[in-house]
Amino acid sequence: MVKRSYKKSSKPATVHFVGAGPGDPELVTVKGAKLLKKAGVVVYTGSLVNKGLLKHCSKKASLYDSAPMHLGELTDIMIDAAREGKSVVRLHTGDTSLYSAFGEQAEILERNGIPYDITPGVSSAFAAAASLKKEFTVPEATQTVIFTRLAGRTPVPVDEDLEALASHKATICVFLSARAVEEVARLLIKGGYPPSTPAAVVYKASWEDEIKITGTLKDIAGKAKKAGIKRHALILAGRALGVKETQAASKLYDREFFHGYRTKR
């Protein structure tokens, strides 16, 4: 571990956790881009964050890819820089609230008396919906979305295994499981989704080399395999994905439906 000799400032600077968005560098928020511009130190998840985003950073900023680091290494960088009074951005792919390991980093910062805040980002789930031109919630089809994953080295609580979640037949977005589309589809069908349920696999949503594959739970695994998708993809399924835009009439804009912002004329 490199020993850093930083001049300590009396009050540490804030570490800003920023959601980088799904890939397209223009899909970071205005606030996130401003923080990147001001940052003296940026720690980014190199395996998933589009490096094009780093163009927002000042030439003088020190940039660190967290991919090869362990937790202590990357929090040391953030703590040292904040104590030196440098503005720090910790850039996470998508939104920080989903599978980002934000919590364990925040806990270490708290223990060390380093203030932090969060700027949310566009999750890859929403980029996938945009790319498919679909709504996850459609009146009369489903009003519920489940974000989940297959167990990997990180276990999933038993109550939340895919078969159990499938009983709801809601729209489901499966993260971190592109290596096992076949298993995901099999478990979803076993748990209650009809095999004809619309399904999709979106690889690198919003990136230039995005691939989207659509089908049903019965054939999606074969199609994804044929396209060679094994990582960096979401598996999506649910009735809502099969609803044509023209069928998806909501009450909100129904001319006979009145509410606080549109009363009977």
Task: Say if CB 85 and CB 38 are below 8 A apart.
Answer: no
Please report how many Cα atoms fall inside a 13 Å half-sphere around the Cα of residue 175, on the Cβ side.
Answer: 17
Give the phi and the psi of residue 262 in degrees, each rounded to 5. -145, 100
Task: Say if CB 206 and CB 177 are below 8 A apart.
Answer: no
Name the DSSP class of 34: H
Looking up tokens 């920023």 gives: 18
Residue 85 CB, nearest distance to ligand SAH (Å)?
A: 29
Q: Which is nearer to ligand SAH, 22 or 40 (CB)?
A: 22
Residue 202 CB, nearest distance to ligand SAH (Å)?
A: 5
Q: Which is nearer to ligand SAH, 138 or 233 (CB)?
A: 233
Residue 244 CB, nearest distance to ligand SAH (Å)?
A: 24
Three-class DSSP category at 174: strand
Q: Which is nearer to ligand SAH, 13 or 27 (CB)?
A: 27
Q: Which is nearer to ligand SAH, 76 or 207 (CB)?
A: 207
Residue 13 CB, nearest distance to ligand SAH (Å)?
A: 24
As given in the structure block, the two tokens for residue 140 are: 């009369």
Residues contributing to the site for ligand SAH (CB under 6 A): 22-23, 48, 93-95, 98-100, 123-124, 127-128, 175-176, 178, 202, 204-207, 232-234
Three-class DSSP category at 109: helix
Q: Which is nearer to ligand SAH, 179 or 186 (CB)?
A: 179
Q: Which residues pair with 116 in a beta bridge?
A: 15
Residue 73 CB, nearest distance to ligand SAH (Å)?
A: 20
Q: Which is nearer to ligand SAH, 130 or 248 (CB)?
A: 130
Q: Which is nearer to ligand SAH, 175 or 193 (CB)?
A: 175
Calpha distance 9→13 (Å, rounded) = 9
For residue 5, give every residue at least 6 positions away whose Cβ sits within 8 Å of its Cβ, in sequence order, or none: none
Residue 52 CB, nearest distance to ligand SAH (Å)?
A: 13
Calpha distance 217→232 (Å, rounded) = 19
Residue 232 CB, nearest distance to ligand SAH (Å)?
A: 6
As given in the structure block, the two tokens for residue 183 are: 């298993």
